[in-house]
Copies of this chain bind each other. A is one copy, B any other.
Amino acid sequence: MSHNTFGHLFRVTTFGESHGPALGCVVDGCPPLIPLEAAEIQAELDKRRPGQSRFTTQRREPDEVRILSGVFTDERLDKQVTTGTPIALLIENLDQRSKDYSEIKDKFRPGHADFTYQQKYGIRDYKGSGRASARETAARVAAGAIARQVIPNVTIRGSLVQMGPHKIDYANFDWAQVEENPFFCADPKAAAEWETYLDGIRKDGNSVGAVIEVVAEGVPPGWGAPIYGKLSADLASAMMSINAVKGVEIGEGMAAAALTGTQNADEMRSGNNGPRFKSNHAGGVLGGISNGDPVVVRFAVKPTSSILTPRETVTTHNEDTEVMTKGRHDPCVGIRAVPIGEAMMACVLADHFLRHRGQTGRDGGVGFA
């Protein structure tokens, strides 16, 4: 992983700020001959798009994506396919309304990257936070849409599983519910309760954190690698690279610490297609390599730092002051992180699929005779 690139064989490089002319990404290493239309990418982007409920920012970002390269419509195939060369995706920034920056130009907003960008670079883009804006994640979602096409047998889905202190009840878990509420939540009962809760948070000018769970089904055994290229390590890095993420878990996650060895290790039984696991504490990854069970990742998103409550801070000249971040912000930025988490899962898996195929010549495990 370099600063703005991730992945080895399926490589994603993103660029762009929220208040510049455009943002986008370059996806390099995609296999050739994969059908790809802009509409498929657009569908994923539309899931992430803000302004879809009162719980996400009211900024209007049409986020219309163009494919600039890497595809070709061969007359004999009669459809657009990838060529194996870099796929550049571009999203123009249209909603750059003029805005008063005097409040934040000379103040460091607590919880934001204002102070650290200034210290690192000696300059910061105070119009929209530059690269620290969550808008960068649109490029990830677009790349993730391509990654999904690379591993069509893998189903990747995400759900909000905790908002503030309120967790879902996994007994109610139903993937079909995710699109039925404004929270991407698989527990309809929790979603209903959260609506009232989040309205309160929003009206208080406050914000709240969340936990997202992303599950990949259909990953064959064998993806990943033993040491620093562990599937789990790359997933941890991918999720932690999303704005505002402060924790990442695979399978049991932090709770694994409280278990005993007899509780935690997933026992096995013989099955028709080889061994199967009786439980999935591991979250589908053993020794950094997928075991054929669903890959389960959770990550925590901190509460939106831009809030309507004044907070103590300092000016860029090191003088005490207060700041209150006006503007159109999400009371729970974690909601929109659901499709982003899915996209990162897709990109990491696509990359490991290609890496595994490169080293072994197989798409998955050796199987059972």
Contacts and interface: CB of A to CB of B under 8 A. Distances in A.
A241 interface: yes
Contacts of A209: 256-260, 264
A12 to B, nearest CB: 8
A330 to B, nearest CB: 11
Interface in A235-265: 235-241, 243, 245-265
Interface string A23-37: 110101101110000
- List the number of copies, as a whole number: 4
A341 interface: no
Contact of A123 (B83, B260, B264, B320): B83
A85 B226 contact: yes
28 contacts: A1-B1, A1-B233, A4-B85, A20-B68, A23-B69, A24-B68, A33-B123, A81-B123, A84-B120, A85-B226, A110-B266, A111-B265, A115-B268, A120-B289, A120-B356, A120-B360, A121-B360, A132-B226, A164-B259, A206-B260, A209-B260, A232-B241, A247-B255, A247-B257, A262-B307, A271-B318, A275-B314, A361-B363
Given A116-B290, A164-B260, A358-B354, A230 B240 contact: yes
Nearest to A306: B261
A130 to B, nearest CB: 6
A22 interface: yes
A345 to B, nearest CB: 15
Given A28-B2, A229-B1, A282-B111, A123 B262 contact: no
Q: Which 5 A-B pairs have the closest CB atoms?
A: A113-B287, A358-B358, A111-B265, A119-B365, A207-B261
Contacts of A247: 247-250, 252-257
Interface string A81-110: 101111110100000000000000000111
A194 interface: no
Given A1-B237, A234-B237, A268-B313, A257 B111 contact: no
A281 to B, nearest CB: 8
Contacts of A68: 15-16, 20-24
Contacts of A109: 265
Interface residues of A, number: 167
A3 B27 CA distance: 11
A26 B13 contact: yes
Contacts of A239: 236
Interface stretch (A50-58, A151-159, A177-185, A295-303): A295-303
